[in-house]
Amino acid sequence: MDFALTDEQRDLSAAAARLLADRYPVERVAGLADTGGVDPDTWPHLRRQGWCDPELGMVEKGLLAQEGGYALAATPWWSTVGLAHPIHRAAGRELTTDPLTVAWQDDPAGGGCRAARHGDRWRLTGRRALVTDATAATALVVAADTDDGVALFAVRSPAAGLAVEAQPTLDRLRGAARLRLADTPGELLVAPGSAERVLADARRHAGTLLACEAVGVARRALELARRHAGDRVQFGRPIGAYQAVAHRLADSYVTLELATSLALRACWLHGAGDTAPAEVAHAHAEAVVAGRRAAVSACEDALQVTGGLGATWEYPLHWWYRRALWLDSFDTPTGAHLATLADHLLTTPPQPAGRPAG
């Protein structure tokens, strides 16, 4: 067993960090958030650096996701590579570098999405909501009901009868949109029967990358707090010299490291061909639970350590906090992940000298 990054992986990570540090200084992050959170300029740089390469391994993608979370990169990379690519791959499509996203969630205001067949063409009608990065996407994967069950369709954006309405979001750097489709042409990507599994796999792929992103968010929050604790002087000493502050940050580091291990492990298992599906699913649940916790608590610890400054709009920490809250609520709730694990752990009593689970 060797749970260490290779030199190539380290280099990739470092190059990604440099690119993003260059493109996303803190002021720019705040500026982008104030103007709708879309950065049209960075995509070509990501492409050039190979962020969308079809050959990219899962651990490599996880490292890029970490850096994305650290920098709060305002690009549709995650929805493209994390969500849409696995579906395109399953559909036997060539993976391009067009920004993409996937729409499968029902609009809480009501109304699903149906697809009807007209000869060999399909048309989609209805709504999808909470569609991440939809305004930046040039094509969408849309889940719609057919007479034989859910299928996945490719829809161009813009397209006839398609309206993409931005929804106001807590995390302004990762926009959501509502799609309204009225007889919109779609191309069948994955037929009913396999679509449900393909979508679930894609969500797991994307979710594992979000666990990595969460680790990046936590790392940045800790970094901001660490720096502040070294600089800010109260009662004649830097506040980091007080144990109440130092120990809080030490705990934050512990939580971050544990989550990092689980996120990288989930990536590795996801990428390893010979892993049992259940093992991948459990590692995924563990990584997501630990990642969300780490991101939220690192931001909250950092907010405490930065005092009144941290409570202002101008101090940038809340942008990472907002991302942490987005991560905490996106897709499958933490309670459902815990339930998955409990099912696995408590189905049968373990043998007296049992192997540790997982």
**CA-to-CA distance for 168 and 85, rounded, in angstroms?**
26
Rounded to 10°, the helix 243-271/277-305 angle is 160
- Select 6 or 35, whichever has its Cβ closest to other proteins: 6
257 is a site residue for other proteins (CB under 8 A) = yes
- Select 109 or 353, whichever has its Cβ closest to other proteins: 353
326 CB-near residues (< 8 Å, 6+ apart) = 169, 170, 171, 174
Residue type, 248: R
Residues 170-229 that bind other proteins (CB under 8 A): 222, 226, 229
355 is a site residue for other proteins (CB under 8 A) = yes
DSSP 242: S
Task: Annotate each residue in 281-320 with x if it binds other proteins (CB under 8 A) or - if it does not, as one string.
Answer: -----x--xx------------------------------
Q: CA torsion angle for 325, 329, 333, 334 (degrees, to 10)?
A: -10
**CA-to-CA distance for 270 and 82, rounded, in angstroms?**
13
- Smallest Cα–Cα separation from 21: which of 81, 63, 72? 72
Residues 224-243 that bind other proteins (CB under 8 A): 226, 229-230, 237-238, 240-243
Min. distance of Cβ 174 from other proteins in angstroms?
Answer: 25
- Select 62 or 86, whichever has its Cβ closest to other proteins: 62
**CA-to-CA distance for 20 and 158, rounded, in angstroms?**
29
Helix (H) or strand (E) holding 127: strand 121-132
Min. distance of Cβ 322 from other proteins in angstroms?
Answer: 24
Min. distance of Cβ 6 from other proteins in angstroms?
Answer: 7
Q: Which of 249, 295, 298, 303 binds other proteins (CB under 8 A)?
A: 249
Residue type, 353: A
Q: Which of 97, 261, 304, 332 binds other proteins (CB under 8 A)?
A: 261
**Encoding tokens for residue 344?**
């696995």
Stretch that binds other proteins, among 11-19, 153-161, 169-177, 265-273 (CB under 8 A): 265-273
Residues in binding contact with other proteins, number by CB under 8 A: 57
> What is the Cα gyration radius of the chain?
21
Q: Which of 116, 268, 300, 304 binds other proteins (CB under 8 A)?
A: 268
- Select 171 or 213, whichever has its Cβ closest to other proteins: 213
Cβ-count burial 104-137 (b if 16+ within 10 Å, e if not): bbebeeeeebebeeeeeebbbbbbbbbbbbbbbb
Q: What is the binding site for other proteins (CB under 8 A)?
A: 1-6, 9, 59, 222, 226, 229-230, 237-238, 240-243, 245-247, 249-251, 253-254, 257-262, 264-265, 268-269, 272, 286, 289-290, 335, 337-339, 341-342, 345-346, 349-350, 352-358
